[in-house]
Chain A
Amino acid sequence: MNHNVPDLHGKFGQYGGRYVPETLMPAFEELDDAYAEFRNDAAFRAEYEHLLKTYVGRPSPLTHARRLSEHLGGAQIYLKREDLLHTGAHKINNALGQALLAKRMGKTRIIAETGAGQHGVATATACALLGLDCIVYMGTVDMARQQPNVFRMQLLGAEVRGVESGTKTLKDAVNEAMRDWLTNVGHTYYIIGSALGPHPYPLMCRDFQRIIGIEAREQMLAQVGRLPDEIIACVGGGSNAIGIFHPFLDDEQIRLTGVEAGGDSVASGRHAARFMLDAGSDAPVHTTANAGTDGRVGVFQGMRTVVLQNEDGQIAETHSISAGLDYAGIGPEHAWLHDAGRVRYTSATDKAALAAFHALARYEGILPALESSHAVAEAIRLAPTLDKSDALLINLSGRGDKDLNTIMQNNDADEAARA
Chain B
Amino acid sequence: MSLASIAATFARARAEGRPALMPYWSLGFPDADTSVRVIEALARAGADMVELGVPFSDPLADGPVIQRANQIALDRGITVEKCLDLTRRIRAAGVTMPLMAMGYLNPIMAYGEERYVAAWHDAGADGLIVPDLPPEESDVLAQACAAHDMALIQFTAPTSTDRRIRQAVERATGFIYAVSVAGTTGARGALPLDLAAYIGRVKARAGNTPVAVGFGISTAEHVHQVGEIADGAIVGAALIRAAGDAADPAQAAFEFVKGLRGERGIGDRNGEENRK
- What residues of chain A have their CB less than 8 Å away from a CB belonging to chain B? 9, 17-27, 29, 165-166, 171-172, 175, 178-179, 182-186, 296-302, 307, 309, 311-315
Contact = CB atoms under 8 A, between A and B. Distances in A.
B67 interface: yes
Interface of B: 56-61, 63-64, 67, 71, 74, 79-81, 104-111, 131-134, 136-137, 155-161, 164, 168, 179, 182-184
A166 B57 contact: yes
Contacts of A299: 104-106, 109, 132
A22 B109 CA distance: 20
Q: Which 10 A-B pairs have the closest CB atoms?
A: A313-B110, A313-B107, A23-B157, A22-B155, A183-B183, A299-B105, A298-B106, A314-B57, A22-B157, A21-B61
A313 B134 contact: no
A168 to B, nearest CB: 12
B58 A315 contact: yes
Contacts of B183: 23, 179, 182-183
Q: Taking each of B80, B105, B132, B183, which has the highest tally of chain A beta carbons within 10 Å of its own beta carbon? A: B132
B190 to A, nearest CB: 16
In the complex, which of the residues A178, A186, A307, A314 has the most CB atoms of chain B within 10 Å of its own CB atom? A314
B134 A18 contact: yes
Given A19-B134, A299-B109, A312-B79, 16 more contacts: A17-B137, A18-B136, A22-B164, A23-B158, A25-B157, A26-B160, A166-B58, A166-B71, A183-B184, A186-B182, A296-B110, A300-B106, A313-B106, A313-B108, A313-B110, A314-B74
Nearest to A171: B58
Contacts of B157: 21-23, 25-26
A27 B179 CA distance: 16
Contacts of B63: 179
Nearest to A167: B57
A166 B57 CA distance: 7
Contacts of B161: 26, 29
Contacts of A9: 136
Given A313-B107, A314-B57, A18 B159 contact: no
B98 to A, nearest CB: 22
Contacts of B56: 313-314
Nearest to B74: A314
Interface of A is mostly: mixed
Contacts of B132: 19-21, 299, 302
A214 to B, nearest CB: 33
Contacts of B105: 19, 298-299
9 contacts: A22-B155, A22-B168, A25-B157, A179-B183, A183-B183, A298-B109, A301-B60, A312-B79, A314-B107
A25 B57 contact: no
Contacts of A296: 110
Contacts of B155: 21-22
A179 B185 CA distance: 10
A328 to B, nearest CB: 9
Nearest to A22: B155
A24 B161 CA distance: 11
A29 B134 CA distance: 13
Contacts of A300: 58, 106
A203 B239 CA distance: 41
B140 to A, nearest CB: 12
Contacts of A29: 161
A313 B133 contact: no
A23 B132 CA distance: 10
Contacts of B136: 9, 18
B215 to A, nearest CB: 9
A218 B111 CA distance: 48
A178 B60 contact: yes
A274 B110 CA distance: 15
Contact of A26 (B80, B133, B137, B164): B164
A178 B158 CA distance: 17
* Most chain A CB within a 10 A radius of its CB, from B56, B106, B182, B183: B106
Which of the listed residues B108, B109, B111, B131 has the most CB atoms from chain A within 10 Å of its own CB?
A: B109
Contacts of B57: 166, 314-315
A300 B57 CA distance: 11
Contacts of A26: 157, 159-161, 164
Given A19-B132, A25-B164, A179 B60 contact: yes
The winner among A166, A179, A309, A311 for most chain B CB atoms within 10 A is: A179
A318 to B, nearest CB: 12
A180 to B, nearest CB: 9
Which residue, of B67, B179, B183, has the highest number of chain A Cβ atoms within 10 A?
Answer: B183
Contacts of B164: 22, 25-26
A137 to B, nearest CB: 12
B82 to A, nearest CB: 9
B137 A313 contact: no
Contacts of A297: 109
A183 B188 CA distance: 13
Contact of B110 (A17, A171, A311): A311
Contacts of B168: 22
Contacts of A311: 110
Contact of A21 (B64, B137, B179): B179
Contacts of A314: 56-57, 74, 107
A20 B109 contact: no
Nearest to A298: B106
A300 B136 CA distance: 17
Contacts of B160: 22, 25-26
Contact of B179 (A17, A22, A172, A312): A22
Contacts of A301: 58, 60
Contacts of A23: 157-159, 179, 182-183
Nearest to B81: A312
Contacts of A313: 56, 80, 106-111
Contacts of A18: 134, 136-137
Contacts of B133: 19
B109 A21 contact: no
B245 to A, nearest CB: 18
B181 to A, nearest CB: 8
